[in-house]
Amino acid sequence: MGKVAVGVAVVGAVAVVAVATVVVRRRMRSTGKWAKAAEIVRELEEQCATPLGRLRQVADAMAVEMHAGLASDGGSKLKMLISYVDNLPTGNETGLFYALDLGGTNFRVLRVQLGGKDKRVIKQEAEEVSIPPHLMVGTSDDLFDFIAAELAKFVALEGDNFHLPVDRQRELGFTFSFPVKQSSIASGSLIKWTKGFKIDGTVGEDVVAELTKAMERQNLDMRVTALVNDTIGTLAGGRYYDNDVVAAVILGTGTNAAYVERAQAIPKWHGLLPKSGDMVINMEWGNFRSSHLPVTEYDQALDLESLNPGEQIFEKLISGMYLGDILRRILLKLAEEAALFGDTVPPKLKEQFILRTPVMSAMHHDTTPDLRVVGNKLKEIFDINNTSLKVRKMVVKLCDIITKRGARLAAAGIVGILKKQGRDTLRYGDKQRTVIAMDGGLFEHYTIFSKTLVRTIEELLGEEVASTVFIEHANDGSGIGAALLAASHSQYLGLEEP
């Protein structure tokens, strides 16, 4: 019995040692994997770093590219498009004006009754219409006939609260958010369709003429007095309420900026100088690029696999369309090289754009003690279950690195615009007030992004100059802004209302 007992004891001891060895090995493997994960995150943090010195270089590069783009077409990655908007709203505008906002699978029609300085916007109404999918790939006439018919229905519902003087035509501001080569305030030829539209007959045609012909076929007596994009609409909407607005930036799914330039400072402008002396420039700043931009392997892979490789590099670093997918790519590398989510790589981590920026924002803003929102989103989007608090904290840190890089680069871009306008310094104690009108879901809803952007502008400008610069949210620029531009470019300007 004694020998048996000793034998059992020895076997038991061996088993305990074996189990202990397995546990130690697992711990070592786990520690090794965690060390690898931490190393990947540390490398990312270094590559995404945006110290003030680098941001100043980005701001300087933006200003240099702006100069080059104003000098000649094709002289810069920034198109610096002349908008032909030389009269921004002042607040004195009166009358009834319409807007049509076409920028995707829906369009909006809007009307406003303006009452001048004291009453401003007396009343406004809007309606959103979905475009049937077959019209997005049909003929130009079919698309514009549908839009004109819906516009005519909307006009027919004009109530007694809206007043059009006798013998006057209704006037419309047309927000057309597709690439256009503009030739005047109310004309521009379509360069190409995007966003799922594919109508061959319209490319190269004047989109205002196409809409006008369709309105005539509907017996709708309405004149397009301004063709604009959403960024210029935002600038107009901001200026209407605040005369110190000098630029507008959209930070949403995509990104763009527009600003007020002195007409004399545009070498490629060959027309007569406008009476106002000013011209609004549509920068198309999403296409900005510079060797100073902190681009990582994840950004390069995203760009390579995108629909427009080598283009819109700035946009791919800072806008809502891409931030979520950058995070997905990093999570995929952590899953593949550090087994962050277990021994098998979750298949959904390989799906492009499955992780949208609003979801990333929800994880980033998670304040629950156990980061429950992060855990739920990982499960909901990627089928990743039972994540530890340690893993969730790492995900939040990744959100922080990517978002703050984007916000700080956007801030540097804005400072580049202020530099070009001579508003990045105070001269002779002059405390001119400078306002930037901002719009877009990323700026409006991603709080950490917008707060980081504002704080970084303050850091770059310094306390004294920053005290004169204000960032204001200008909602719905693409709608009301277009109606206001129709008013400020009305054919009846200078005429008293009958």
Strand order in the sheet with 121-130: 121-130, 106-115, 94-102, 170-176, 222-228
d(CA 398, CA 86): 44
308 contact partners, CB below 8 Å, separation of at least 6: none
Check 86, 145, 230, 366 and give the catalytic one: 230
Concatenate the DSSP letters of all residues of 361-405 into one string.
HHHHT--STT-HHHHHHHHHHH---S--HHHHHHHHHHHHHHHHH
d(CA 329, CA 27): 27
Check 76, 83, 140, 177 and give the catalytic one: 177
Residue 108: active-site member:
yes
Length of the chain in residues, anyone?
498
d(CA 289, CA 52): 18
Residue 488: active-site member:
no
The answer to whether 208 touches 225, Cβ cutoff 8 Å, is no
388-420 b/e (C-beta count within 10 Å ≥ 16 → b):
eeebbebbeebbebbbbbbbbbbbbbbbbbbbb
Helix (H) or strand (E) segment spanning residue 56: helix 52-71
Helix (H) or strand (E) segment spanning residue 281: strand 278-282
Check 76, 108, 170, 319 and give the catalytic one: 108
159 contact partners, CB below 8 Å, separation of at least 6: none
Listed residue (421, 477, 414) closest to 450, CA to CA: 414
Tokens in use for 85? 């908007």
Angle, helices 447-461 vs 52-71, to 10°: value is: 90
**Biggest alpha carbon distance in the chain?**
120
Residue 303: active-site member:
no
**Which sequence positions are flagged as catalytic?**
108, 177, 230
